Chain A
């Protein structure tokens, strides 16, 4: 088992490295000269050369990559092209905001979806299952901004309970922070839970299709007892896997949700960077997001290995 886990983590580190190359090369091989784009057409050859020397652009690409990667490890993320502030200082507070959002969403949506998924699996083909399956299918097939739009329509426009813009500032009290970020929170909870409910239900029903469940049906065990005593324990592995996987989905969810509600998080910072073509900023944000994503995927794989007795105690 240890070997499998270590192997998985090792593959994860390799993936992270490949990702860093993709992010760096993908954004560095721009058509055109970066210095020219930043300084504009009127720049003299001297200022261009000075800009290149200052930003290390006169060095070969692999040297630039090495400097960049070294900076990633030491927390020196470079200087933003727009405004010239250090990227670490730009990211700091934004990162905390995004973590707050993701943390609250995880705490609420994980138990909620496991319970609802279990309910749907326990009473299949009843109205509760039908409502949950149809509802979650609809929710996962619409874009995140669709749900956000309807949230605004219902809670901000028609009911007037919540602000449509999430104006979060560090001086807010806890209550103010929660009220201001309620809309992005609810939207993300809905998006993530819908996925998790479906996958939990499918995981348990999948276990229900295995031969030993058929055996207990033929023995005459009642359905509830089969689910609570036989199926659930064997579904824990898949469910843990589902949870880690969905927390990874949060990564793409926050991009849309932070933009639509103008929530001052990391994703909003990145989108602004994309619009102003602020490369160092986009690279740093992309690395943080992709890194988190890869780590969560590794966690889900490790959880799947740990929760499977056959993998845990190999012969």
Chain B
């Protein structure tokens, strides 16, 4: 509070933020907000797991053997002996038919009739194996079959010397490709979160207008403080949400172990990247949230809000695409445009953090984005006071003529 007893803008914003935060966190809709993103992830993971299992059991290629018993046994033993050294390069073997001496066998007919669960069949003897199957399959298995047959004949290597392993980072091209992947994933996550929360702040304000409390707020504190309070309350709510989602992901990751795919390390390192991610998320949300608040404050009905927020969402999508495109073309006019335009700047800069280790551009970008947020809030608050808070015949006429009429400057 100031010396004269007046609440400062920040203190007033805190009153609004505290109320909004408590109201949202304690509401039932917040539970759905928290659970919302988990459903697609869980369902996707569950469905993916089932699919993988089905695929693994149904279409794992198997090589069939149709030989005399001793030859077939020798081939199976040879495969087992080689497996620890060769690994996945060897196909699984299954005996589709044990032949008597001199018995004829037609592998084409067996494969065509799908009588055996095999993708190809090896016949003959270990000394003269014959491989029948599709051109692709026999091409892949020609070498392994030859190796197994040699082992079955006792002509395999006598010893396998141990190999000393020395892991190293991927080469430059692979590293760059990986960082682009990290950047893309981060951008997408940022965009989805931002749009989800901006929509929530918009509906919060519309609800406020429905409650008719907005005039009480506007009479007591500056509208800038109302806007700031609402934005920061939702930001705090989003941090709670992110903490819950991150916790859930952490538990999932621990349970899944190495099964979860990992992204290549970003250029600035994971710790700084995560910090920048939080900062850019805050900026992206505050920018779009301030824009949505401005729209929401001017609209008198939910329908008006939807009418105007839809094109804004599309424009935001365009900015996201520009930022996505820019990450594949660093240093070009596209990247600079994406960085300069406030609504795409957080996305472009986060992508940059994944690909470029320099830190100072982020300080400058965050300052620029902060400035734009301040301007947007100020413009929004002014428009609100100028266009919304009016009464009497003029106000009624305007309401009938809709929002676009109100956006036209008043004649002096």
**Real complex partners, A and B?**
no
B residues with CB within 8 A of A: none
